[in-house]
Amino acid sequence: MIPRVAAATEDEMNEAIRGMFGDRVITEGRVNVDLPPIAENGFSVPIDISVDSPMTEDDYVKQIVVLSPRNPLPVLAQYHLTPMSGRADVSARIRLGGTQSIRVIAEMNDGTLWSGAKQTLVTLAACVID
Partner 1 sequence: MTTIRLSVPQTADRGEIIELRAMIQHEMESGFRFGSRGEMIPQDIITKFECFYNGTLFFSSDFHPGVAANPILKFYARANESGSFEFVWTDQDGQSWSDSAQIEVS
Residue ranges binding partner 1 (CB under 8 A): 1, 3-5, 43-45, 55, 66, 68, 71-73, 75-87, 89-95, 126-127, 129-130
Specify the residue, 25 or 84, whose C-beta has the smaller distance to partner 1. 84
The sign of the CA dihedral 14, 20, 25, 28 is negative
Helical segments of 1-130, H only: 10-21
- HSE-CB for 74 with a 13 A CA cutoff: 17
Closer CB to partner 1, 67 or 113, in the complex: 67
Closest approach, Cβ 111 to partner 1, in A, equals 20
Query: Contact 27/58 with Cβ under 8 angstroms?
Result: no
CB of 93 to partner 1, least distance (A): 4
Q: How far apart are CA 127 and CA 115, in angstroms?
A: 26
Name which of 27 and 105 has its Cβ closer to partner 1: 105
